[in-house]
Amino acid sequence: NAGVTQTPKFRVLKTGQSMTLLCAQDMNHEYMYWYRQDPGMGLRLIHYSVGEGTTAKGEVPDGYNVSRLKKQNFLLGLESAAPSQTSVYFCASERDRGPRTEAFFGQGTRLTVV
């Protein structure tokens, strides 16, 4: 079982460049999330999706866009990267909107913007 897979694992960007982070899950989960983790901080929610074709803003959405064209994939885009977006990004998926269940996380993408 692959679970939640993030691509790429590491990336260095120059300020102003764009990139897309890919998250893929093979558990047929409805909910998917993007979080960022900064040093000494907990994970903070960027955007999330409650199903194919839907997206919603989380706690820190500015500077990011997302798309969920297929149920198994959730893409996070940075149109014009800034040094403040240097962080570790985690994708997560969760079964559905029933009683709360645990979210499954990917291994993370370490992004550095110089």
Verify binding: residue 62, another protein, rule CB under 8 A.
no
Least distance from another protein to the Cβ atom of residue 85, Å: 19
Under rule CB under 8 A, residue 52 binds another protein: no
Q: What is the distance between the alpha carbons of residues 104 and 33, in angstroms, rounded to a whole number?
A: 10
Decide if residue 74 touches another protein (CB under 8 A).
Answer: no
Q: Which of 13, 25, 48, 81 binds another protein (CB under 8 A)?
A: 48
User: Where in 7-26 is the site for another protein (CB under 8 A)?
Assistant: none
- Integer Cα distance of 46 and 68 in angstroms: 14
Query: Nearer to another protein by C-beta: 47 or 75?
Result: 47
Q: What are phi and psi of 71, to 5 degrees?
A: -60, -35
CA 47, 49, 50, 51: dihedral to nearest 10 degrees? 180
Binding site for another protein (CB under 8 A): 4, 31, 33, 35, 40-45, 48, 50, 56, 58-59, 90, 92, 97, 99-100, 102-108
